């Protein structure tokens, strides 16, 4: 049994917006969420920029008692999910709850709780850590909180596949509905790893962007000749996926049809991206959607601004799209919201969905001198409006070679 899947609700907490409307408005305006980090450990960092979620007050969403058991990454997920559920006007009866589930992605889960525990034990010689440390830090905490809050009694799964975690969560949730195992799924990802330990680890890997000497917000430069690496961010995105007939029957607002998905592995190198693996994933997703390359009107690129990554993705797009590669707009919104790791795939898929809804394409900012090897239409510096968009693709290519591609198109009942 193969069924159609639609998106009926969106929610996001990001460095460039705390609602889908604010998020997309700021993307279209080219506003960067990259800035100097304001932390008490800033002097211990060599690279002092990031893309934090500013002005997020947990007490506006949770009681003091609740906050003892809900870590920052789970807070993000719960707030984004509340937006999505409200947006979808989703209500589940007792008989529907066993057919509804949640799939989320996260790389580090409760990173700050883990780090605090290490500090207490190894630095301060404290024999005790927070009693709820395991429950706060476990990667599946966010998904579990969503399952409990909304009584989602179907599948409850968390994916940890580095940068593709939440894209795979969305894609596998789509498959659950498509093949009849569920009728409704909450799907997305959440990450909050702007901690000293995580930032130092990324510094050691030498993949973080150097701060732009004139403007911290200009530090992430995908596809530019002078790009120097990625910028770590934090946040969450959650989508409501539904079986199409169910959504139509209840009169739901439908953003788009989630029409295609694939995940596959490069099987070549733990960090170096591979154009052939990315090519295979994009082609398989197009096949799943029943679309041709010419049918895609916008690609939200993985576009991390690493030296090798941007070139390999450009090669892969050319291999898949052929001559049409030069006619399809491609942009990296990471230039504005940074790399949200386990959450980034869902955040970027949401950007692509909103592009489809608004017939508008967000730019790749900070792209003033393109790399000659990156010669596609990257929508440099200024967004485009009144553009015909019927189908969009979102790429997520992760360390470990774990690739995921999502495709959405306008829904025709």
What's the rounded Cα separation, in Å, for the pair 290 and 101? 26
- Alpha helices by DSSP H, listed for 46-195, are 64-67, 72-88, 111-118, 133-137, 141-150, 165-178
Q: Pick the closest to residue 84 from 347, 405, 352 (CA basis).
A: 347
> At 238, is the secondary structure helix, strand, or coil?
strand
Catalytically active residues, by annotation? 163, 302, 339
Largest CA distance in the chain: 63
Q: What is the 3-state secondary structure (H, E, C) of 159-217?
A: ECCHHHHHHHHHHHHHHHHHCCCCCEEEEEEEECCCCHHHHHHHHHHCCECCCCCCCHH
Assigned token pair, 61: 């969403």
> What H or E segment, with its residue span, contains residue 291?
none
DSSP assigned state of 17: B
């Amino acid at each position: 049994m193969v069924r159609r899947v639609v998106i009926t609700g969106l929610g996001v907490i990001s460095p460039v917006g705390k609602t889908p409307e604010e998020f997309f408005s700021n993307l279209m305006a080219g506003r960067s969420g990259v800035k100097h980090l304001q932390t008490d450990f800033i002097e211990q960092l060599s690279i002092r920029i990031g893309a934090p979620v500013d002005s997020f007050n947990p007490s506006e969403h949770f009681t003091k008692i609740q906050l003892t058991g809900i870590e920052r990454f789970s807070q993000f997920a719960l707030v984004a999910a509340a937006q999505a559920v409200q947006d979808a006007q989703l209500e589940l009866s007792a008989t529907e709850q066993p057919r509804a589930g949640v799939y989320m992605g996260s790389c580090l889960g409760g990173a700050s709780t883990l780090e605090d525990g290490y500090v207490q034990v190894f630095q301060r010689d404290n024999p005790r850590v927070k009693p709820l440390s395991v429950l706060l830090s476990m990667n599946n905490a966010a998904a579990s909180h969503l399952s409990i809050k909304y009584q989602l009694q179907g599948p409850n799964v968390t994916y940890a596949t580095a940068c593709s975690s939440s894209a795979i969560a969305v894609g596998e949730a789509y498959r659950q509905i498509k093949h009849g195992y569920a009728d409704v799924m909450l799907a997305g990802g959440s990450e909050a790893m702007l901690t000293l330990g995580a930032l130092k680890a990324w510094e050691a890997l030498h993949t973080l962007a150097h701060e732009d000497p004139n403007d911290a917000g200009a530090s992430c430069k995908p596809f530019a000749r002078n790009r120097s690496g990625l910028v770590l961010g934090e946040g969450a995105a959650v989508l409501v996926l539904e079986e199409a007939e169910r959504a139509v029957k209840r009169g739901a607002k439908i953003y788009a049809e989630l029409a295609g998905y694939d995940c596959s592995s490069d099987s070549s190198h733990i960090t170096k991206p591979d154009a052939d693996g990315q090519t295979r994933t994009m082609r398989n997703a197009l096949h799943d959607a029943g679309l041709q390359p010419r049918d895609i009107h916008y690609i939200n690129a993985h576009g991390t601004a690493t030296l090798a990554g941007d070139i390999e993705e450009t090669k892969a797009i050319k291999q898949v799209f052929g001559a049409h590669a030069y006619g399809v707009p491609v942009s990296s919104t990471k230039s504005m919201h940074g790399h949200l790791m386990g959450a980034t795939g869902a955040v970027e898929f949401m950007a692509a969905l909103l592009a489809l809804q608004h017939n508008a394409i967000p730019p790749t900012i900070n792209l003033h001198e393109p790399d000659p090897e990156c010669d596609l239409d990257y929508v440099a510096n200024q967004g485009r409006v009144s553009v015909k968009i019927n189908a969009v693709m979102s790429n997520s290519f992760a360390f470990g070679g774990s690739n995921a591609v999502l495709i959405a198109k306008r829904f025709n009942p």
